[in-house]
Amino acid sequence: MKKAVKIYRILFVFSLFVLVGITSFGQDLGSSNGLFRASNPKSNSSAPTKKPAPKSNVSKPAPKKQIAKKSASVRKSPAKNSNTDSPKSKNQVAKNQKNAKYSQPKNVIITVGDPANSNYNQLFEEAIDEGNAARDSRDYLKAETAYNRAKEFNPKDSRAVYGLGNLYSDQQRWAEAEESYREAIALEPANSDAYIAISFVLTQPIIGKELSARFIEAEKLARKAIELSSDNPFAYDQLGVALEFNGKIGDETRNAYLKAIKIEPEFALAYAHLGRLLRRSGKAGESTDAYSKAITFSKDIPTMILVADVLQSQQRYSDSEQLLRRALREDPKNPTALFLLGRALTTRGEFGEAEDILKKSVEISPNSFVSYVLLGSLYTRRGDFSDAEKTLNNALKVITENERKSLAQAFETVGDGFMKNGKKTDALRVYQQAVALDSEKQSLTQKLARARM
């Protein structure tokens, strides 16, 4: 995948058909992985990030899975991290990174949104550089603040928007990522990467959404990306994913993956998706061969993470764990790699190490809902219901509307644990929280009534 590694940088992020349990959350991650090609003519930044992009800049959309190397930029997110690379000389970039802190020149009046003002342009570029550097170092709160500041300085420059989209994808904040990528399309309607990014987000199983309609739109957007860039392997790969999620596991889907591989012969992610499709089609031998090639061609961090995610969707946890540990040796703070490894360990019952890994994931990405829920589920499986409740209460602070039902389910499970241990008061409190999140679930209201008796 030499060409892909060179052209793209990664967006975070995860597995295929799953709801909110301990084992699966989403499809193939987004931002931290590098799935899209870097193509922001305006910014000349990196490519979209796939999902677990360790270091990414704000360049462009971070479509499917961004797992980039520490140098990826937001636009390219396929490597560890992808941020927004701007067309500047190496010396200028170094200078900007050195002076990353935002500071407005004294005695200078800046008109926000006035591109004609050279001071304004400088502040915009400095904010972008600061956001990229912060994302690369996994300081997501600082990166988000910087990108939002850049967006205020120039709302018409797509780099800040892509940076936010990739940043949100890194943390699996899908609703926010979708909003940012849609804004990116409005700014650059002819940019194929933006369509791949949105298609990727739409194939994430968001609880409470009409998934079939989202998958249909994902397919439409992937086709649009191909129309705009017929030689983009990520576009064909994402089309295959959208078709597969729409229940189409025949020749059209297979040909989409094969087309991606034809364009990029060592496209590990496409081989992983092809392996999954072949397995679903009952072709075990061919599937094993495709998985083997996916693992062999996984040579950069973003790719390792993306492929590991696909392997987990097929319960190949041992293979995925090997790739994830390799990725984390090079990028210890990659949130997607940490999440996926924590999930693999939790699934295998290795609760001690899984807890340490997931705590680190939450520390690095404090606004990641899925990490809190997975950690809470771990405590629940271990019987530590008090710790589970505390962790899920933290998830409440970062929850979106679409995640309410899944969190309600997690609280309900904790309540069941308290009830089983004869702690009715605790169970009542937790059930009440669950009902507040999902008042339409009849079985939940019945449990609440029993806890009150």
pLDDT in tens, 71-123: 333 333 333 333 443 333 334 333 333 333 333 333 333 344 555 566 778 99
CA 26 – CA 109 distance, rounded (Å):
46
Q: How many CB atoms lie within 10 A of CB 105?
A: 10
Which of 375, 384, 393 has the alpha carbon at shortest distance from 429? 393
Tally of domains in the chain: 1
Say if CB 163 and CB 58 are below 8 A apart: yes
Tokens linked to 328: 């984390």
pLDDT in tens, 30-52: 444 444 433 333 333 333 333 33
Is 384 inside any structural domain?
no
For residue 204, the model assigns a pLDDT of 84
CA 152 – CA 114 distance, rounded (Å):
10
Residue type, 64: K
SS3 74: coil
Is 304 inside any structural domain?
yes
For residue 350, the model assigns a pLDDT of 94
CA 55 – CA 53 distance, rounded (Å):
5
pTM of the entire predicted model: 0.73
Band the pLDDT of 316: cuts 50, 70, 90.
Answer: very high
pLDDT in tens, 269-289: 999 999 999 999 999 999 999
For residue 121, the model assigns a pLDDT of 86
Asked if the model's pLDDT at residue 56 lies above 80, the reply is no
Domain around 275: 2-349
Q: How far is CA 344 from the centre of its chain?
A: 17
Is 388 inside any structural domain?
no
Is 389 inside any structural domain?
no
pLDDT in tens, 160-178: 999 999 999 988 888 899 9
pLDDT in tens, 328-354: 999 999 999 999 999 999 999 999 999
For residue 118, the model assigns a pLDDT of 67
Residue 63 belongs to a domain with what CATH number?
1.25.40.10
Band the pLDDT of 187: cuts 50, 70, 90.
Answer: very high
Is 421 inside any structural domain?
no
pLDDT in tens, 215-249: 999 999 999 999 999 999 999 999 999 999 999 99
Is 417 inside any structural domain?
no
For residue 114, the model assigns a pLDDT of 53
Is 451 inside any structural domain?
no
pLDDT in tens, 379-422: 999 999 999 999 999 999 999 888 899 999 999 999 999 999 99
Is 394 inside any structural domain?
no
- What proportion of the chain, given as a percentage, has pLDDT over 70? 73
Tokens linked to 254: 């297979």
